[in-house]
A and B are shown apart, each in its own frame.
Chain A
Amino acid sequence: AQSVTQPDIHITVSEGASLELRCNYSYGATPYLFWYVQSPGQGLQLLLKYFSGDTLVQGIKGFEAEFKRSQSSFNLRKPSVHWSDAAEYFCAVVQEGRRALTFGSGTRLQVQP
């Protein structure tokens, strides 16, 4: 069965520091991969997605992610974190033969001043 693992439950970084959130997937073929963000009191919002082509994808709010087939990873990065980035981040993959996304358990990001 396809699965998505986010090994870090909670990460704290200082404002202005760089960020990397990890995501690993288990999938038989090249997956469609996504990162969503859930800010307090708001619905989930798509940050970026990877279907094919260039393995480095740019998203909104200054985020980027890199697909590495050899490591089955799709890590999310941001060079300089802002306090408003504090939120929960979910990696997701489309299940083969379906349209429904499988989500990881999420990483909660806390930003220190």
Chain B
Amino acid sequence: GAGVSQSPSNKVTEKGKDVELRCDPISGHTALYWYRQSLGQGLEFLIYFQGNSAPDKSGLPSDRFSAERTGGSVSTLTIQRTQQEDSAVYLCASSLAGDTGELFFGEGSRLTVL
């Protein structure tokens, strides 16, 4: 597809389980971002990948959160031992290198932790 694709669109899990969220960016976009949007809140930055550079992990809220990007394309956000406060919409975005700020967002993965 032409846009950023995220899966699953909805995920319900039990507290303590691990979850993986997938993001497939726009072809040719070298920058990839993960954000979290909680109910009534703005977007919270989680992690940023740019090409082969070391990712900016400064927004990850705890060591239960990790992300990887394989082959400079698809990214997976993993949340271990999920907690109820992890319930949110996880948004992925991509952009062209050098095109500061024009992010193209996916529709998000809604995570509900029971």
Question: Could you tell me which A residues sit within 8 Å of B by CB distance?
Answer: 4, 6, 32, 34, 41-46, 49, 51, 90, 92, 94, 98-106
A-B contacts counted at CB < 8 A amount to 62
Q: Pick the interface stretch among B11-19, B38-46, B61-69.
A: B38-46
Q: How big is the B interface, by class?
A: 20 to 34
B7: min CB distance to chain A, Å: 14
A80 to B104, CA, bound (A): 27
Tell me if B90 is interfacial: C-beta within 8 Å of chain A. Answer: no
Given A43-B108, A44-B91, A44-B105, residue A105 in contact with residue B41 (CB < 8 A) = yes
Question: Could you tell me which B residues sit within 8 Å of A by CB distance?
Answer: 3-4, 31, 33, 35, 40-45, 48, 50, 56, 58-59, 91, 93, 100-108
Q: Which of A6, A41, A100, A106 contacts B45 (CB 8 A)?
A: A100
A24: min CB distance to chain B, Å: 14
Q: Which of B3, B40, B42, B56 contacts A98 (CB 8 A)?
A: B56
CB-nearest residue of chain B relative to A9?
B40
A111 to B101, CA, bound (A): 28
